[in-house]
Amino acid sequence: MTLSYRQREFLGRLLDLYHESKHAVHYTDLAQSLGVKPVTAYEMLRLLEEKGLAQSELARPSGQRSRSIVLFSPTQKAMALLARWGGDRLDEHEWERAKADILEALEQGKSTDYQDLLNELLQRLPERKSPQLFAADMVTAIILLLHELRQTVPLLDIVVDLHQFNSPTWEWLYSLAGLGLALSLVGKVASWNAAALSTYSQRLYQHLEDLRSGDKRRLSDFAHEVLEVVGS
């Protein structure tokens, strides 16, 4: 089944909320989590229902005599589809371990201005099969490359601003991928091959398109931790 990026985003977030709450989801909660208008969330859920990926039910709020409300939940078909898309998705323990390894390497790499870590990231990126691990490595690498250019091209301050003012909070990651691509075009990065940087930046963008919103939020939080370490 072919879904647009927007449809996949709504479906993935519906599944996240459904698993978090253990019950069907009201469309206003979905709208709030994605930073969209309630009517937008409602219309998208109805579209997903037509595709057999969401199901609606009427429920009356507990202890209230008001009219029933419409709740939505993902179907088994949707769960199977998302499981197939996310076959390389990490569990929480694997993600926390990978994140801790990178943050520890950053702390240890301050004395060498992170050059050893940058080289290590360059070597292992082609072998990264998990979209989350690839994205974590590449986001770290781009931030370190911007740090490397801080004396001539002070872009790291711009990245911090992008992180603070974007909503949903993970949207700034797309700008980070774009900066990686831009660095490959201007040829200012001595430690990386420009063609490889371009390829990896485009791959990062594609992974951002495919990751579920919950995974993107975790990646955004991790990138913020990287910024704090590098900027300290």
CB atoms within 10 A of CB 75: 15
Mean pLDDT of the chain: 82
- Which tokens is 98 given? 């990978």
Residue 135 CA to residue 204 CA, distance in Å, equals 6
Is the pLDDT score of 228 beyond 90?
Answer: no
Alpha-carbon distance of 87 to 149, in angstroms, equals 37
Structural contact between residues 193 and 184, judged by C-beta atoms closer than 8 angstroms: no
Under 8 Å between Cβ of 139 and 224: no
Task: Please name the residue that has the structure tokens 């990026």.
Answer: 5
According to the model, what pLDDT value does residue 186 have?
67
DSSP letter (8 states) at residue 62? T
* Domain map (residue ranges) of the chain: 5-85, 92-231
What is the identity of the amino acid at 70?
Answer: V
Question: What local confidence, expressed as pLDDT, does residue 149 receive?
Answer: 76
| pLDDT exceeds 60 at position 168 | no
How many whole angstroms separate alpha carbon 166 and alpha carbon 92?
25
Nearest to 73 by CA among 126, 113, 22, 3: 22
At position 30, the amino acid (one-letter code) is L
114 three-state secondary structure: coil
Q: Following CA atoms 192, 169, 84, 53 in sequence, which dihedral angle do they give, to the nearest 10 degrees? A: -150
Residues of the chain with pLDDT > 90: what percent?
29
Report residue 115's pLDDT band, with 50, 70 and 90 as the boundaries: confident
Q: Tell me the mean pLDDT in the region 60-67.
A: 68
SS3 of residue 69 by DSSP: strand
Q: H helices within the chain, ranges in order?
A: 5-21, 27-34, 38-50, 76-85, 92-109, 115-124, 131-148, 156-165, 172-186, 194-210, 213-231
5 Cβ contact partners less than 8 Å away, ≥ 6 residues apart: 209
- pLDDT, position 138: 95
Q: What's residue 153's pLDDT?
A: 61
Place of tokens 């969401």: 54
User: Where does 5-85 sit in CATH, by number?
Assistant: 1.10.10.10
